[in-house]
Amino acid sequence: MGLDKFRLDGKVAVVTGGTRGIGLAIAQALGEAGARIVISARTPVPEAEKVLSDAGVNFDLIEADMRDEGAADRLIMEVVAKTGGVDVLVNNAGVAIHGDSGDFEDETWRKIMSLNVDAVFRTCRAALAPMRVQGSGVILNIGSISGIVSNIPQNQVAYNSSKAAVHMMTKSLASELAAENIRVNAIAPGYIETDMSRGGIANPEWFPIWRGMTPMGRVGQPEEVATAALFLCSPASSYVTGEVLVVDGGYTTR
* The one segment of 93-101, 122-130, 148-156, 206-214 that binds ligand NDP by CB under 6 A: 93-101
Q: Is 189 in the site for ligand NDP (CB under 6 A)?
A: yes
What's the gap between Cα 230 and its chain centre? 12
Cα 73 to Cα 70: distance, rounded to the nearest angstrom: 6
Of 12, 72, 88, 96, the residue at the interface with ligand NDP (CB under 6 A) is: 96
Residues of span 227-246 touching ligand NDP by CB under 6 A? none
Cβ closer to ligand NDP: 16 or 237? Answer: 16
The amino acid present at 86, given as its one-letter code, is: V
Q: Is 20 in the site for ligand NDP (CB under 6 A)?
A: yes
Q: In angstroms, what is the minimal distance from the CB of 180 to ligand NDP?
A: 26
Of 27, 29, 115, 228, the residue at the interface with ligand NDP (CB under 6 A) is: 115
Q: Is 149 in the site for ligand NDP (CB under 6 A)?
A: no
Cβ closer to ligand NDP: 129 or 201? Answer: 201
Of 8, 12, 14, 22, the residue at the interface with ligand NDP (CB under 6 A) is: 22
Q: Is 94 in the site for ligand NDP (CB under 6 A)?
A: yes
Q: Is 148 in the site for ligand NDP (CB under 6 A)?
A: no
**Radius of gyration (Cα) for the chain, nearest Å?**
17
Q: Is 214 in the site for ligand NDP (CB under 6 A)?
A: no
Q: Is 147 in the site for ligand NDP (CB under 6 A)?
A: no
239 is catalytic: no
Bridge pairing between strands 88-91 and 182-189: unpaired
Cβ closer to ligand NDP: 164 or 196? Answer: 196
Cβ closer to ligand NDP: 43 or 101? Answer: 43
Q: Is 95 in the site for ligand NDP (CB under 6 A)?
A: yes
Cα 222 to Cα 251: distance, rounded to the nearest angstrom: 16
Catalytic residue positions, numbered: 159
Residues binding ligand NDP (CB under 6 A)? 16-17, 19-23, 41-43, 64-67, 92-96, 115, 142, 144, 189, 191-192, 194-197
